[in-house]
Structure 1
C-alpha cells in the first residue's frame, strides 16, 4: 500500500483496482470526458462510476506528490506548501466554531488528511464520507497511525444520498469535494438535512469565476482540461454555487474567493516555471522524473498498462489549473460559510 513519498504502482495505479483492469478503467474514464464521444450529460448521469474510477486510478499519484491532504491553500511568502495546507484546514475549523466533543462530517474526505488535522486541532469527532473503497481503506490505516481511530471514522456512501438521520451533525465541511456532485442544490440539500438546526456548513469549492467566457475557445479548453484531469462532471460558476446553497435552505454568513488573498499563487506548486525543494515532486524536474519512472515501470510490467495515460491526464490537469489560475478564470478555493436556520428545531 502506498505511503507518502512512494509511488505504489505494482498493486494497481490506485492501489485498489486490479492490475489487469487498469487499462479498461482508463478507457472508460476518458470516454466520459469527450474521448469516443462522451459529454457532460454522461458525466452527470454516471458521476458515481466516473469519480470512483478517477480516484482508483489517481490516489497513489496524489499521495506521492501532495501528501495526505489533496487540496490547495492560500499561501504566504516564506510558508511551505504543507504549512499553508494545515493553516487552511485550521481556518475552516475556526470558521465553523468547532468545540471539543462535537460531531463533525467531512463530505468527500479523500484519505482523511484534513479529517485528522481538524480532529486533532479542534478535539472533535469527525466522520469522513467517501464513496471510494480504496481511499477509505487507506484512510483507516492512516487514522490508526495518527491515533485518531477511536474518535474518527469513515462511512462509504454517496453524498447525494447520505445514510444519516436528519439533524445528526454539529458541523459539516467539504474541501474541494462537492465540485464532483452532478447537482449542487441536491448535494447541499443533503448536507442541510443531516446538519443540526442553527449549525454551520463551510466549504471550499472549485469554480469558474465571472471572468470565464463560455464563448472563448481557450477558456473552454482550460475548463475541459481541469474537468478531465480531476474527475469533474462540470465546473460551476461561483455565483451558481452561492445560489445553490441558498436554494438548499441555508443562510449565507459570508463568502469570498480566498485565492485573491494568497501572496504566493495557489497554483504555484504546479507551475513549471517555478522551482521548490519543499514540493519538488510537483516541479517540472520532479514531474519529468515521475513521468519517466512510470514509463519505465510500465515497460517492465511492474506498473499496469494505462499508468502512463493516468500520468498524462494528471499533467494536463495541472496545466489547465495553472492556466486557469493565471487568467483568473478558475479558483480552487471559493469559500462560503452557511448556517441552517434555528427555526428548523420546531419544524
Structure 2
C-alpha cells in the first residue's frame, strides 16, 4: 500500500540520501537545469546522476500525492486518478498481448505500481529495471505486501547499458520512464537487444508535439520548467521518438498521441482549481496545506533541510506540465508499439 501520512512523507524525504545531505543534493540537482544556469549537454552526460538525485528527492512526494504509479493517463468523466492509471496499465498489457507465464521487462519501473497491476492483470513474470536504490527498496516492500514476490522482481541497472543477455524477454514496456534517457535511439536499442525476435515493445513517452516552436521563448520556458521539475536532460519531439524507434531496428506498428482519445486530459490533475476529494493534494487547498505541512516538518527537523525546496521544484513541474498540456506543445501520452522483426532464417523455420 502506498505511503500517505505526513510522517511517512517526512521519513521518505531524500530517499537514500543521508538526511544531512538533502539540502546540498537539492542544490546540486537544480544547478543541472537551464533555469539555474545549467546546460542540456551537461544533463545528458550526467543523466544517471541527474535521475538518481531527482528520484531520491522526489519519490516521497510522489507517493504522498500520486500513490504507487508515477505516470499520467487521459480519462473519462467520473474516473478517479487511480482508475485512469489502472486502465492505462491494462491498455499496455493488452497492446503487448500478454499471456500467463510470459517473461516481461518493465523499463524504468519506479517503485513498481504499474508492474504489480500488470502482473496481476496478465499473470506474467515481470522484471522491473531501475537504477535507483531507494525506489528498488520501496518496490520490494510493495511486491511483498502484494504477495507477488514469486512473480515479480527488480533488477538494478542503467537502461542505456542493461545487465541483461540478448533475446531474454518476450515483451517489454516503458511507461513514461525513457524521457530520462540522454539518447532515445540508445535506450530503444538496448530494449531491442534484450527482446526476443518477433516480440513487442510498448512505449509510452513524454514528447514535444508539432505545435512546439523552438524559437518561441514561452515554449522554451515551459520546456525548461518541465525538465527542472521532472529530472529530464532534454525532451524529444514525437517525430524524433518515432525515428529513434525505427533507427533502433523496430518495426513501428503504430504511433499515436493518446491524449487525443479522452475527454478528460492527462494534465487535469495538475490544475489547482480542479476540486477533487480523491486527489485533494493536487487541488489549490491541498497544495497550500501540503506546503504548510512541509514547512512545519522542516522547521521541527522532522523532515530534512531542503524539503521545501524539493516541493518548490515539483510545483514548477506541475505548472510546466499544465501549461504545456493546455497549449498543446507537450504530451505525456505519446504511445508507440514496436515489434522486433524476425530474421529470414527464423521466418523460414517458423520460429517465434
- The structure-2 alpha-carbon separation of the partners of 1:276 and 1:12, relative to structure 1 and needing over 3 Å to count, comes to closer
TM-score (norm 1): 0.97
Partner residue, 2:97: 97
* Contact 1:167 1:197 (C-alpha < 8 Å) held by counterparts: yes
CA distance in structure 1 between the aligned counterparts of 2:61 and 2:343, rounded to whole angstroms: 45
SS of residue matched to 1:342: coil
Partner residue, 1:193: 193
Greater Cα offset, 282-291 or 225-234 = 282-291
CA distance in structure 1 between the aligned counterparts of 2:342 and 2:62, rounded to whole angstroms: 39
Shift of 1:346: 4.8
Say yes or no: does 1:78 pair with 2:72.
Answer: no
* Contact 2:2 2:68 (C-alpha < 8 Å) held by counterparts: no
Partner residue, 1:299: 299
Partner residue, 2:329: 329
Shift of 1:2: 7.3
Partner residue, 2:88: 88
Shift of 1:151: 1.0
* Contact 1:255 1:334 (C-alpha < 8 Å) held by counterparts: yes
* Contact 1:108 1:178 (C-alpha < 8 Å) held by counterparts: yes
Partner residue, 1:66: 66
Which segments of 5 or more consecutive residues in structure 2 lack a partner in the other structure? 348-352
CA distance in structure 1 between the aligned counterparts of 2:344 and 2:240, rounded to whole angstroms: 25
Shift of 1:266: 1.0
RMSD: 1.5
SS of residue matched to 2:8: coil
Partner residue, 1:268: 268
* Contact 1:8 1:15 (C-alpha < 8 Å) held by counterparts: no
SS of residue matched to 1:275: coil
Partner residue, 1:314: 314
Shift of 1:37: 3.0
Partner residue, 1:164: 164
Per-residue Cα deviation, 1:47-68 (whole angstroms, up to 9, x for no partner): 0001000000000100000000
Shift of 1:163: 0.7
* Contact 2:2 2:67 (C-alpha < 8 Å) held by counterparts: no
Per-residue Cα deviation, 1:144-167 (whole angstroms, up to 9, x for no partner): 000111110000000000011100
* Contact 2:12 2:60 (C-alpha < 8 Å) held by counterparts: no
Greater Cα offset, 9-18 or 73-82 = 9-18
- The structure-2 alpha-carbon separation of the partners of 1:51 and 1:84, relative to structure 1 and needing over 3 Å to count, comes to same
* Contact 2:106 2:128 (C-alpha < 8 Å) held by counterparts: yes
Shift of 1:10: 4.0
Question: Between Structure 1 and Structure 2, how many residues are aligned?
Answer: 347
